[in-house]
Amino acid sequence: MKFRSIFLSDIHLGTRGCQASRLLDFLREHESEQLFLVGDIIDFWAMNRGIHWTPVQNTVVQKVLRRARHGDQVMLIPGNHDEALREYVGTSFGDIRVVREHIHIAADGRRYLVLHGDEFDQVTRHHRWVAVLGDIAYNFLVRVNAWLSLTRRTLRIPGYWSLAGYAKRRIKRAVSFIYDFEDSVIHAARERGLDGVICGHIHSAALREVAGLIYINCGDWVDSCTAIVEHADGRMELIEWGAAKPVTLIAAVVAA
């Protein structure tokens, strides 16, 4: 299937939680003229504690580089977990451009602010130690979830359920974290006179209209395995690459 653009974020290569096999399957089935990597592609935070780099993760990197060599426009926007790459903003690696943020003009003329979004997370900005501690706890839940998934498969329980994702949603909703984040990025897009924003960071996939602007979050490839795709006519679609069904539309397509 060929799209005009694909947006991916929060892949977290180098960690046990990275679902590189699913991502590789997704990339094999979905081609695009443009590929946007919207932050936290490589998890340097976790790799400082211990590297978990598998052959399939290496294949994902090779797949992306191959796309860039074959003419796809590939753009990397570093996030907080791969913030070391921000030192290379304005340069290119193997035909992959590294930028701080980007204004994407969709085929229907809509203009989107594309950025990772960690600059709108007050915990990450002002209380880094809390963010790191939360990251360690989250990775622990991801490892526990691997055992739960194995148990579910052994018992032949259908579907995919994430303990880490469940805990994250309950805790963050309790403190209105997600809603504050969404309001902040939408406000930034509105101030620039844009039509919407495409971001990542909070591992909570979304595609909806908020106060007249379009809020899009790519989700992640640890829990949800989601991506944003742009069709040839500019329509945006949120895709979940699940285990039970190859592709599931989990949000309404935004049309002109």
Axis-axis angle for helices 177-191, 163-174 (nearest 10): 70
Q: What is the mean pLDDT of residues 54-62?
A: 96
- What pLDDT is recorded for position 166? 58
Q: How confident is the model at residue 243 (pLDDT cuts 50, 70, 90)?
A: very low
What is the per-residue pLDDT across 111-166, written as a single tens digit (0 to 9) for each? 999 999 998 875 554 444 344 445 555 565 566 666 556 665 676 655 555 555 55
Tell me the torsion sign for CA atoms 16, 9, 217, 233: negative
The answer to whether residue 101 scores a pLDDT higher than 50 is yes
Place of tokens 């930034």: 188
Q: For residue 131, what pLDDT is reported?
A: 45
Residue 244 is predicted with a pLDDT of 43
Kindly provide the residue ranges of all beta strands, DSSP E only, lying in 90-211, ordered along the sequence.
Answer: 92-93, 96-98, 102-105, 111-114, 196-199, 206-210
Amino acid, res. 2: K
What pTM did the predictor assign?
0.79
Say how many Å lie between the first and final Cα of the chain, rounded.
22
- At 162 the pLDDT is 58
| pLDDT of 255 higher than 80 | no
pLDDT of residue 227: 97
Residue 46, phi then psi, degrees to nearest 5: -70, -35
pLDDT tens column, 163-217: 555 555 555 444 455 668 888 999 999 999 999 999 999 888 999 998 899 999 9
**Domains of the chain from N-terminus onward:** 2-249 (3.60.21.10)
Q: What is the pLDDT of residue 140?
A: 58
**Residue 100, number of CB atoms within 10 A of its CB:** 12
pLDDT above 50 for 3? yes
Q: pLDDT category, 94, cuts 50, 70, 90?
A: confident
Instruction: Give tens-digit pLDDT for 11-52.
Output: 999 998 899 999 999 999 999 999 999 999 999 988 887 888
pLDDT of 247 > 60? The answer is no
- Confidence at residue 93, expressed as pLDDT on a 0 to 100 scale: 87
Is beta strand 226-230 parallel, antiparallel or unpaired with respect to 2-8? antiparallel
Asked if pLDDT for residue 99 goes beyond 70, the answer is yes
- Please give the DSSP secondary-structure letter assigned to residue 253: P
